[in-house]
Amino acid sequence: MKLLLFGSWVFCYFASLLVLRMWTEAYLRSPLTRSLLVNMVSESRTQQEAHEWYGCRTEILGEAVRPAFIQSYLDTETQAFLNRSAEKSGCLFTQLYHSFVSTLFSPFVSRTSINGYLGRGSMFVFSPEQFRQLMNISQDWKSKRLLDLGAGDGEVTKVMSSHFEEIYTTEVSATMKWQLEKKQYRVLGIDEWQDTGFQYDLISCLNLLDRCDQPVKLLKDIRRSLEPSKGRLVLAAVLPFHPYVEIGGKWEQPSEFLVVEGKTWEEQVTSMANGVFKEAGFAVEAFTRLPYLCEGDMYSDYYHLDDAVFVLRPEE
Ligand SMILES: C[S@@+](CC[C@H](N)C(=O)[O-])C[C@H]1O[C@@H](n2cnc3c(N)ncnc32)[C@H](O)[C@@H]1O
Ligand SMILES: *[C@@H]1O[C@H](CO)[C@@H](O)[C@H](O)[C@H]1NC(C)=O
Ligand SMILES: *[C@@H]1O[C@H](CO)[C@@H](O)[C@H](O)[C@H]1NC(C)=O
């Protein structure tokens, strides 16, 4: 009897999700309602939007950072990610299963961990080509140690990994650690990477500054752990800057605050370069504007946020 009840509950659940999906397809994807929902981006808007994703009004950047700007474009690899993502989100039964698991566990488990468990919601920051352009390196450039902090499921780590002999990562989410180990990356503890007795040639801190509890300490630790002359930090920050930390299934305020001034992307980039980064002992060598893309779900083909990606050099 209990089993039957549970079975019918699951059936009703799936049926209502199915109806919801059809409803969103029919109504929410009309231009008017869609414009109210920032994240509902359909394939046809991609080409037009591409310009907004990468554009920068260089005239309102601060003079000191202006020469470091690099213009990026929607390249083949990025388009391929968008295509794969649209294909996956169109796969109804997988999406229904994902939605079911999320609903069941979201009161107790972080969204990051649920995605890690399901192997969904992979992110895209840059293509191998965009990474090389930003770093000003060739395809066969090699170095020794990479440390990717808050690496997520390791899909972004993979883009950088071919240039390094040893790859280290950190994560707080248990299911994400599991994904990283599956990809054969060494996972260090969040209080361990600073005290290994060696320094790193590249540290990446992608979309982590606004999601960790102590960003000031993090930047200080990075500065100390980098190889002092050749070492570089690749840092991506979602702008406008809105810090919050995911603990269990809840969102909380971080205990340390970074001061980021200005409203526009350009103003916030300038403020970070002259404020936060300078105070932490870093100079901006290069930066670009990129969309931070996430695989979609049953409601949208993909999601995007606005990223600023910097290459930072340690300074006196
Ligand atoms: C927004 S995701 C970014 C993932 C990946 N770097 C990317 O750019 O797509 C932030 C990740 O940082 C992890 N995280 C949060 N605080 C952390 C900390 N103090 N140390 C390491 N990872 C942390 C979270 O579990 C989450 O997977
Ligand atoms: C993405 O899909 C479009 C349309 O379906 C196709 O024309 C294009 O070649 C695809 N691009 C890549 C890089 O897969
Ligand atoms: C890129 O690196 C080359 C040498 O490898 C150097 O000559 C050039 O000035 C660098 N470009 C930038 C923009 O830093």
The answer to whether the peptide bond before residue 240 is cis (omega within 30 degrees of 0) is: yes
Is residue 19 domain-resident?
Answer: no
Whether residue 84 has its Cβ less than 6 Å from ligand 2: no
Q: What is the pLDDT of residue 38?
A: 38
Output the residue whose Cα is nearest ligand 2's atom 14.
Answer: 80
Whether residue 247 has its Cβ less than 6 Å from ligand 2: no
Ligand nearest to the CA of 126: 1
Is residue 289 domain-resident?
Answer: yes
Whether residue 116 has its Cβ less than 6 Å from ligand 1: no
Q: What is the pLDDT of residue 66?
A: 98
Q: What is the pLDDT of residue 25?
A: 53
Tokens of 129: 């080509």
Tokens of 36: 């109210």
Q: What is the CATH number of the domain that holds 196?
A: 3.40.50.150
Q: What is the pLDDT of residue 31?
A: 38
For the stretch 277-297, pLDDT in tens is 999 999 999 999 999 999 988
Q: What is the pLDDT of residue 14?
A: 67
Q: What is the pLDDT of residue 194?
A: 97
Ligand nearest to the CA of 287: 3
Whether residue 80 has its Cβ less than 6 Å from ligand 2: yes
Is residue 11 domain-resident?
Answer: no
**208 CA from centroid of ligand 1 (Å):** 5
Is residue 212 domain-resident?
Answer: yes
Is residue 178 domain-resident?
Answer: yes
Whether residue 209 has its Cβ less than 6 Å from ligand 1: no
The sign one gets for the Cα dihedral 7, 9, 10, 14 is positive
Is residue 210 domain-resident?
Answer: yes
For the stretch 141-156, pLDDT in tens is 999 999 999 999 999 9
Is residue 12 domain-resident?
Answer: no
Whether residue 113 has its Cβ less than 6 Å from ligand 1: no
* Closest ligand 2 atom to Cα of 84: 14
Burial of 274 (C-beta count, 10 Å sphere; 0-12/13-18/19+): middle
Contacts of 5 (CB under 8 A, 6+ apart): none
**117 CA from centroid of ligand 2 (Å):** 29
Mark residue 50 as left, alpha or beta (left: phi above 0; alpha: psi -120 to 50; beta: remaining): alpha
Is residue 181 domain-resident?
Answer: yes
Segments of the chain with pLDDT less than 70: 2, 6, 10, 12-51
pTM of the model: 0.86
**205 CA from centroid of ligand 1 (Å):** 8
Which residue type sits at 290?
L
Tokens of 207: 């979309």
Number of structural domains in the chain: 1
DSSP 300: -
Domain that holds residue 169: 102-314
For residues 310 and 235, the answer to whether their CB atoms sit within 8 Å is: yes
Task: Map residue 167 onto helix, strand or coil.
Answer: strand
